[in-house]
């Protein structure tokens, strides 16, 4: 199996009334796990996303350099 990133769209998020942060309830978290683990998923669409990669640790190199 090839490693790939999976984008899951339209996930219903809840908003904490105390701090305003988004979170997922138990059922949503469970469903996300199922979606991630499924080998075959209905209507899955391969996409190509233009992107560059920046490694977190390389900031220090830039600051020294
Ligand atoms: Zn909170």
Quote the ligand 1 centre to 22 CA distance (angstroms). 8
Q: Each residue of 9-47: pLDDT tens digit? A: 999 999 999 999 999 999 999 999 999 999 999 999 999
Residues lying with their CB under 5 A of ligand 1, a single-atom ion:
16, 18-19, 21
State the pLDDT at residue 7: 93
Quote the ligand 1 centre to 17 CA distance (angstroms). 7
C-alpha 6/C-alpha 41 separation (Å) is 11
Q: Look at residue 5 and tell me whether its pLDDT is greater than 70.
A: yes
State the pLDDT at residue 1: 52
State the pLDDT at residue 63: 86
Quote the ligand 1 centre to 45 CA distance (angstroms). 34
pTM > 0.95: yes or no: no
State the pLDDT at residue 57: 93
C-alpha 5/C-alpha 20 separation (Å) is 28
């Amino acid at each position: 199996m090839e490693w790939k990133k999976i984008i899951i769209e339209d996930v219903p998020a809840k908003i904490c009334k105390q701090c305003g942060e988004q979170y997922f309830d138990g059922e949503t978290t469970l469903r996300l796990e199922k979606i991630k683990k499924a080998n075959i998923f209905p209507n899955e669409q391969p996409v190509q996303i233009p992107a560059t990669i920046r490694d977190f640790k390389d900031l220090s190199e830039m600051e020294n350099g």
